Amino acid sequence: MIELAAGRERSIIVGVSTRTIGREETEEYMNELALLADTAGADVVGRISQDRDRIDAATFIGKGKVEEIRTLVSEQQIPLVIFDDDLTAVQVRNLERILECKVLDRSGLILDIFVSRAKSNEARTQVELAQLQYLLPRLTRQWTHLSKQFGGIGTKGPGETQIETDRRMIRSRISHLKEKLERIAQQRVTQRKGRLHHTRAALVGYTNAGKSTLLNFLSGSDVFVENRLFATLDPTTRIVQLGPSSQILMTDTVGFIRKLPHHLIASFKSTLEEITEADILLHVVDVATKTFEEQIKVVNDTLAELGAAEKPMLMVFNKIDALSDRTILQAVAEGYANRVFISATRGINILGLKDEVLRVLESEFVEETVRIPQDQQKLISQLHSAGEVLERTYEDTEVILRMRVRRKDRERIANLLQKR
């Protein structure tokens, strides 16, 4: 890791409207990009947008806009220009040559934030892997002098040192990091085995939706909370009491965002397995933001990419205390069957949330106990795939399995037992 540039950097952000992405949508994206820049330590002092039918292969935007930005950068001595879309190595090289400043795209900015936020050994390893995978296809000799000259945002982590090496060394490092993450993943599997006797819930949602605040309120813990994007990267698991005789393990996971780099999702595979292993997902939504419906879609698309789209889910519409017009809640209520409205900050309707979690769990899952002859290993293997084995005991020639299964899978298990 290299030292960060002192103080905050001034930056210009750039967005492009196309035939598929209108001006209003582009403006929303740029608002979010400004928040990302602020999180990374940059002050946005200018915003440039352009309507284009096609993206320019050489500079992404048109020559006129490039010249407009060049003039602004020169007159105000702006060290950083951030684009809201991914740029190719050629585009970055051309833009940096013309503008004579650092040029960063959205993925690079997100990765830079992740470097700053990564605290644990696992998170740092995941982020370094994602950075190197992002850097490899963009590696050019022209970047070497720029990384040394500018420093700061977009050059943290392995970026500066790895640019000065060849691709073979980067690929070797990537291979090493993947092996390291595989070992960490095996450790996580062992950790999760100790939780098999507990019902597990995972908090998912768009970044800054209030997941960590909610976990703190429910568990009485002190998970780090900040009103900025990607405040937490490492999953945190706490015991949450739902009722006098009912408790679950609840895990806070990394937030999602539009255009989240695919290699970042892949790098965080072991962390995100907390989602795929959960019994129920609590999808936390900032209902006070105008774009909450699009944010819901972003989260759902990411869950589908992880293979968790079919998990039992409760929609948790958070921050109702920040709504100026609560009539919107009626329309939201009609659109979602499993939903609850809360304020994690003020503790509004937390009891209602707990009741809804219990209701969804009771409607989705039951425990079954089955007895099988020990010599029927194929059937035992099939039962493992049909549900989650909570406990296995042996009695004479039989094995007794206590299982947690979804109600809709009970018939499948009954059919397997009948065929033995």
What does the DSSP assignment read for 247-298?
EEEEEE-PPB-TT--HHHHHHTHHHHHHHHT-SEEEEEEETTSTTHHHHHHH
Minimum mean pLDDT among 111-120, 235-244, 348-357: which range? 111-120
Minimum mean pLDDT among 128-142, 186-200, 214-228, 384-398: which range? 186-200
What is the reported pLDDT for 154? 67
Q: Which candidate, 240, 244, 220, 224, places its Cα nearest to that of 232?
A: 224
What is the reported pLDDT for 376? 87
pLDDT above 60: residue 2: no
Tell me the C-alpha distance between 238 and 114, whole Å. Answer: 23
Average pLDDT, rounded, for the chain: 84
The first and second tokens of residue 156, run together, are 């943290």
Provide the pLDDT confidence category of residue 83 given band limits of 50, 70 and 90: very high
The first and second tokens of residue 127, run together, are 């982020």
170-183, pLDDT tens digit by residue?
889 899 998 998 88
The first and second tokens of residue 336, run together, are 């979602």
Phi, psi of 106 (to 5 degrees): -60, -45
69-97: string of b/e by CB count within 10 Å (b at 16+)?
bbebbeeeebbbbbbbbebeeebbbbbbe
What is the reported pLDDT for 254? 83
Tell me the C-alpha distance between 218 and 207, whole Å. Answer: 19
Between 167 and 51, name the one with better pLDDT.
Answer: 51
Phi-psi region of 220 (alpha: psi -120 to 50; beta: other; left: phi over 0): left
**Interior angle at CA 50, CA 49 and CA 52, nearest 5:** 150
Q: What is the percent of the chain with per-residue pLDDT over 90, rounded to a whole number?
A: 40
Provide the pLDDT confidence category of residue 231 given band limits of 50, 70 and 90: low
List, in order, residues 6 or more apart from 199 with CB less than 8 Å away: 248, 249, 279, 280, 361, 365, 404
Mean pLDDT of 210-235: 78
What is the reported pLDDT for 115? 83
What are the structural domains of the chain? 9-163 (3.40.50.11060), 194-363 (3.40.50.300), 365-418 (no CATH)
125-139, pLDDT tens digit by residue?
888 888 888 888 776
List, in order, residues 6 or more apart from 68 with CB less than 8 Å away: 48
- By DSSP bridging, strand 42-51 and strand 313-318 are unpaired
The first and second tokens of residue 180, run together, are 């390291």
What is the reported pLDDT for 385? 75
Mean pLDDT of 8-19: 92
337-390, pLDDT tens digit by residue?
899 999 999 999 999 999 999 998 888 888 888 888 888 888 888 887 777 788
Sheet containing 102-104: give its strands across.
Answer: 42-51, 9-17, 80-83, 102-104
Dihedral (C-alpha) 140, 144, 150, 153: value to the nearest 10 degrees?
50
Provide the pLDDT confidence category of residue 186 given band limits of 50, 70 and 90: confident
Between 294 and 192, name the one with better pLDDT.
Answer: 294
Tell me the C-alpha distance between 96 and 78, whole Å. Answer: 12
Provide the pLDDT confidence category of residue 225 given band limits of 50, 70 and 90: low
Tell me the C-alpha distance between 103 and 90, whole Å. Answer: 12
CA 205, 281, 223, 356 dihedral sign is positive
* CA terminus-to-terminus distance, the chain: 59
pLDDT above 80: residue 204: yes
Residue 42's alpha-carbon distances to 127, 264, 325, 363, 377, in angstroms, are 20, 22, 33, 48, 60
What is the reported pLDDT for 357? 94
pLDDT above 60: residue 164: no
